[in-house]
Structure 1
């Protein structure tokens, strides 16, 4: 049974595995202090156009979010996110466990807008409520939508107006950037956020993310925060090496385009058959709404995730394409779906 449940269900892209295999027999200094890690760091800085950035490698998205957000906020401060945001729904209250409130707003698009920030600030005006300080967004979002450059510019302007910091979760940044609906570049993001992370785990890495800190005030003592949160890896070079593969010949971006292409073929199938979506399908996550009976039949043939029941007799299924999804996998799904109809 082929799985469209997620984009991290195979070990790693062959080029990532090759880089790791090539390290056999070599020795490195620990905790990301080695020359190899520094070389990779410099390459990423050059690619994003920010030689002044601080980069830190992590082994997963939740620990990246937890460490970054808890480092930024003072005890009385909070982070703003949409109600479908990863930190609000899929991280077991990790942020709240550090004593920081996640203030959520409803957003049908999965994207945060200046009006959402304004509404929250109008309710948090004095010392009797938490002080909003950090704005959290993700690209692509939890429901597969992507930010346009104008939207990110507007958010950054709103943050600057109120002295807020802007943080982008990039767990699926490759897919978000390479969406046909996106006019953003990674260089744009490096100019329009105070920190963001480049996700590797969901685009072919074994397990690796890299946090990019841009705002000068956030850089101080960050390694202390990493260590305190249990995220300072002795084999830091093992995390960095995966980005050696992903950022050589722009493999990261090539894979982002690839997963989106495979997803778009499935989107076209659903559109041709007259089915709608929970949100506009703009990346490698598709949220298609199907009759319950058809959804059950499909789930008997494929590993899929049921997200919700938007109406009586309907089910919303999430399909997620991966760097390892082949054209044969897509063709077989299309054939099976047509047969089930």
Structure 2
């Protein structure tokens, strides 16, 4: 059975494994104070085109979200997220467990707008309610859409006008920035956000995210927060080595481009068969709407996520491609779907 269920089923790109093996018996400092992590930070700052950022490597996306958001907010403050947002739907109340409410607002395409944020602010008017303080967005979003520069600029300007913290979940940032439709760069994120992270777990690394803190007031004592939440790894070099390997050349974006290309092939051919989609996704997650009878047949050979029910006969499924997705497997899926569609 071939999996289109997620983009972290495979282990890691061979270059990363080789780098870990080559450094395996080398003695280095712990807790991310090793030479590899230092070099990885230097390279990322070059890629971001900004020296005035703090970069921390954390093992996973949920850990990064909960550590960052709980560190950035005071006890009475809350985060604003789309109703599809990862911190609202798929993190088992991790943010709420740190004492901070997630205020959700309904969106159609996974993306927050200034109007969404403004509506939340207008509803929370006094000290009898939590105070909305942090705006959480994902790029790409949980349903595969991406933010264009004009959209991020508008949100950024509104957040600054209203003293809100703008935080970008970049678990699939590689896919977002590698899309043909994308017009954002890493340097734009450093310019327009207060903090964001660059996801490695879902783009060729064994594990790890690179949290970039741009706003000076959010930087102080952040390693204390990482340690207190149990995420300051003694063998921190394991994370540093991986990001050094991903960013010393264009490997990170090459891997993301492959994932996008595989999804694009699926998208194109499924559309040719006459099927519609939940969203117009240019990234490595696509959401075709298929008859239930066909889905049951496909499940005999492939694994994927059942996303949402459309009606009694049709369902949205999620297909996710990765840096390691085999083109032959994509072609097999397409051919099997063609046969079942006839």
TM-score, normalised by the number of residues in structure 2 = 0.98
For 2:181, the equivalent position in structure 1 comes to 181
1:305 and 1:319 in contact (8 A); partners too:
yes
After TM superposition, the structure 1 stretch with the greater mean CA deviation from structure 2, 150-159 or 306-315, is 306-315
For structure 1, which segment, 320-329 or 208-217, has the greater mean C-alpha deviation from structure 2 after superposition?
320-329
Contact 1:304 1:319 in 2 (8 A): yes
Alpha-carbon distance in structure 1 between the residues aligned to 2:38 and 2:180:
33
Matches within 5 A, 1:125-164: 125-164=125-164
After TM superposition, where is structure 1 displaced by more than 2 Å over at least 4 residues in a row?
none
What are the within-5 Å matches in structure 2 for residues 171-250 of structure 1? 171-250=171-250
SS at match of 1:277: coil
Which residues of structure 1 form unaligned runs of 5+? none
1:312 Cα deviation from its structure 2 partner: 2.4
- Secondary structure of the 1:201 match is coil
Partner of 1:73: 73
Q: Distance in 2 between matches of 1:171 and 1:13?
A: 17
- The answer (yes or no) to whether the contact 2:7–2:321 under 8 Å persists in 1 is yes
Q: Which residue of 1 aligns with 2:294?
A: 294
Q: What is the aligned partner in structure 2 of residue 282 from structure 1?
A: 282
Q: Deviations over 1:60-113 (max 9, x none)?
A: 100000000000000000000001100001111010011100000000110000
Does the Cα contact within 8 Å between 1:19 and 1:245 map onto a contact in 2? yes
Asked if structure 2 preserves the Cα contact closer than 8 Å seen for 1:137 and 1:168, the reply is yes
Question: Which ranges in structure 2 are unaligned for 5 or more consecutive residues?
Answer: none
Alignment partner, residue 124 of structure 2: 124
Alpha-carbon separation, structure 2, partners of 1:319 and 1:333: 11
**1:320: which partner in 2?**
320
Q: Tell me if structure 1 keeps the 8 A contact 2:36–2:244.
A: no
2:99 aligns to what SS in structure 1? coil
User: Could you tell which deviates more after superposition, 321-330 or 213-222?
Assistant: 321-330
- The alpha-carbon deviation at position 142 of structure 1 amounts to 0.3
- 2:40 matches 1:15: no
How many aligned positions are there? 341
Q: Give 3-state SS (helix, strand or coil) of 1:249's partner.
A: coil
Q: Deviations over 1:272-296 (max 9, x none)?
A: 0111111112100011101111111
Q: Structure 2: how far apart are the matches of 1:263 and 1:39? A: 33
Cα deviation for residue 244 of structure 1 reads 1.1
Q: Distance in 1 between matches of 2:140 and 2:265?
A: 18
2:4 maps to 1:4: yes
Deviations 1:253-282, CA, capped at 9 Å, x for gaps: 111111101100000011101111111121
